[in-house]
Structure 1
Amino acid sequence: MDTTDTMRERFARTVSRLLDDDPRLALVLADIGVDGFRAAARAHPDRVINVGIREQLMVGVGAGLALAGMRPVVHTFASFLVERPFEQVKLDFGHQGAAGVLASAGGSYDWPGGGYTHMAPGDVALLDTLDGWAVHVPGHPDEAEALLRQAAAGDGSVYVRLSAGQSNAAPLPVGGGRLVGVRQGRGGVVVAVGPMLDSALAAVEGLDVTVLYAATVRPFDGPGLRATVGAAGAPDVVLVEPYLAGTSTAAVNDALADLPHRVLGLGVARRELRRYGTVEEHLAGQGLAPASLRARVTSFLGGGRPADVVS
């Protein structure tokens, strides 16, 4: 597979192919992303729908297509897909029992120059208030393609959170919804979500900790985490998420409810960084660059244990 493209570019190519292959599939846009689907719109003018800058209508049209028996894929920036039309996501999809695929772009701050209107660190937490949504957070374009294909072929409600500004160097196996073991240790468990994996691995280099990878966060793989914590004998868990800090701490606490444990949720803070900057500067400002992550992880885990003491 081509690994030089971004997740958003892979999204356009993948969905265009799926439109050719699956007559049940329909794509709904609100001006953003239209250029990537020019050829698909010419080939399938009845199933590639651009409603203009009307995000609430975009979600409503997607739900209507679902109620008519289609499988809608609805796409724009996360702030315009989840936050602005949240009432339509809640009522048009959820209340009516409709199901489809919401595929976002922009992540938490992929385009800092767009300002706070184009940032959505609270999107996953907001969807957590609704019932039945699966949430995928791929960390690489190959993972994004696999999860998009899975979502398009299914029948449930799925949110696929794509990032153009953050990506891991290599993909991992995804699609089963399970946590993937990346390395083993005895001094704690670090759960890295999506594009935070490479930074998390750099942060814990040389430390005796287990690292798990999550590209699917809802439903959260509680049994997998519980088994890992039990096997490692390490009840301290650090979550590193590319969106609002603490979004998945409740899921971890539920998984370990009858076990003594501690949880540290790292991610994007509620405070607003009011300078545009770059993605890298926002990561540093949120304490999510490797050096900052290492300091926060080792402080929580009591300084960590060097990996070279492992027998």
Structure 2
Amino acid sequence: MDTMRDRFAPVVSRMLDEDDRIAVVLAEIGADGFREAGRRHPDRVINVGIREQLLVGAAAGLALTGLRPVVHTFASFLVERPFEQVKLDLGHQDVGAVLVSAAASFDWPSGGHTHMAPGDVALLDTLDGWTVHVPGHPDEAETLLHHAVTGDDKVYVRLSVQSNRQGRVIDGKRFLTVREGLRGVVVAVGPMLDAVLAATEGLDVTVLYATTVRPFDTAGLRRATRAAGTDVVLVEPYLAGTSAGEVNRALSDIPHRVLGLGVARRELRRYGTVEEHVAAHGLEARGLRERIGRFVDTGRPVTV
């Protein structure tokens, strides 16, 4: 199966052909995928070199002229390194762009800590007005790219080599109910769904699938808690607890408990493989089963 990133350049290249408002801004990473598109549209495929601050600054300048910039590099170089430009050039100037990342939390372990970004979504949470898409399958990535590029707002699309076995029909807004139960709600984000479904097999819980996490589907979560109770487990492929505040706001008028599972804060200093990093953070089915099972068994959930 191809990866989410494999879909990125072909999808956006077709959109470049169809819409002269779209521009692509790169910092060497991913440039090969846009070589042909660059020949067709040399004024709208721009490679700034290994200059990530300029990458975002140039995109903001293009947005000020009325273009729709699509900006791409590894997550650590797209959100963390040029964060001041994301905050000021895009946010303060109130212009839109589509930031499309690769490498996710630890998709390239041999690249070391410089190429890991489990804190990217949490960092964007310090800013106002960002839409955040976290697809769990290449088909979903394609759908969400179309949603993002055809809009005008500030959007982050987080691509990963981790993937669920099948894509689902998503609308870029609401959570999907994948399984229904009575003893808690588990929110599986993006590529975490398959592991969550395996981990919760036989548990009497509702499983919601989230591929758009900002804005957070408050209404969808509240609907689920009416039947399943207000014990909520978040399983996120980035920093553990990133969306806990969103759950607390959604259920602020109701007694509830939240367990945030995801990438731990501790730095793993061995390269290893993606699978070994997943296991080390307890995000494989066995690790999730132990913690989710213990949480939902510690008391009956409060019902609404």
Q: TM-score range by the shorter chain?
A: over 0.9
Alignment of 1:117-266 (within 5 A): 117-164=114-161, 166-232=162-228, 234-266=229-261
Aligned to 1:110: 107
Once the two structures are TM-superposed, the CA of residue 176 in structure 1 deviates from its matched residue by: 3.8
The letter of the residue matching 1:208 is D
Within 2, Cα distance between the matches of 1:276 and 1:175? 36
- Structure 1 position 119, deviation (Å): 0.3
Selected match of 2:278 from 283, 287, 290: 283
Preserved contact between residue 175 and residue 209 of structure 2 (Cα < 8 Å): yes
Give the residue type in structure 2 aligned to 1:274.
R
1:13-69 deviation digits (Å, cap 9, x = unpaired): 101111111100000000000111111111111100000000000000000000000
- Tell me the distance in 2 between the aligned counterparts of 1:223 and 1:303: 26
Distance in 2 (CA, whole Å) between partners of 1:189 and 1:50 is 44
Cα deviation, residue 97, structure 1? 1.0
**Aligned residue in 1 for 2:85:** 88
Amino acid at match of 1:37: F
Misfit runs of 4+, over 3 Å: none
- Measured on the aligned residues, the alpha-carbon RMSD in Å equals 1.1
Name the aligned partner's letter for residue 36 of structure 2. Answer: A
Q: Is there any run of 5+ residues in structure 2 with no aligned partner, and where? A: none
Identity of aligned residues (%): 72
Distance in 2 between residues matched to 1:80 and 1:173, nearest whole Å: 31
- Does the Cα contact within 8 Å between 1:208 and 1:304 map onto a contact in 2? no
CA contact (8 A) 2:73 2:101 kept: yes
C-alpha distance in structure 2 between counterparts of 1:175 and 1:265, whole Å: 25
Counterpart Cα distance in 1 of 2:26 and 2:230? 45
Tell me the TM-score normalised to structure 2 length: 0.97
TM superposition shift of 1:5: 1.1
Calculate the TM-score normalised by the size of structure 1: 0.95
Among 280, 293, 296, the alignment partner of 1:298 is 293
For structure 1, the 5+ residue unaligned runs are: 306-311
Cα separation, 1, equivalents of 2:36 and 2:2: 18
Q: Distance in 2 between matches of 1:56 and 1:240?
A: 31
Residue 304 of structure 1: how far off its partner (Å): 9.3
> Which string of whole-angstrom CA distances, capped at 9 and with x for unpartnered residues, describes residues 167-187 of structure 1?
001111222410100000011
User: Would you say the 8 A contact 2:182–2:227 is kept in 1?
Assistant: no
8 Å CA contact 1:137, 1:162 repeated in 2: yes
How far, CA to CA, are the matches of 1:10 and 1:220 in structure 2? 25
| Structure 2 Cα separation of the partners of residues 239 and 182 of structure 1 | 15
| C-alpha distance in 1 between matches for 2:72 and 2:299 | 42
Whole-Å separation in 2 of the counterparts to 1:9 and 1:146 = 14
C-alpha deviation, 1:302, in angstroms: 1.2
Distance 2:2 2:230 in 1: 39
User: 2:147 touches 2:172 (CA, 8 Å); kept in 1?
Assistant: no
Distance 2:51 2:184 in 1: 46
Is this contact kept in 2: 1:7–1:144, CA < 8 A?
A: yes
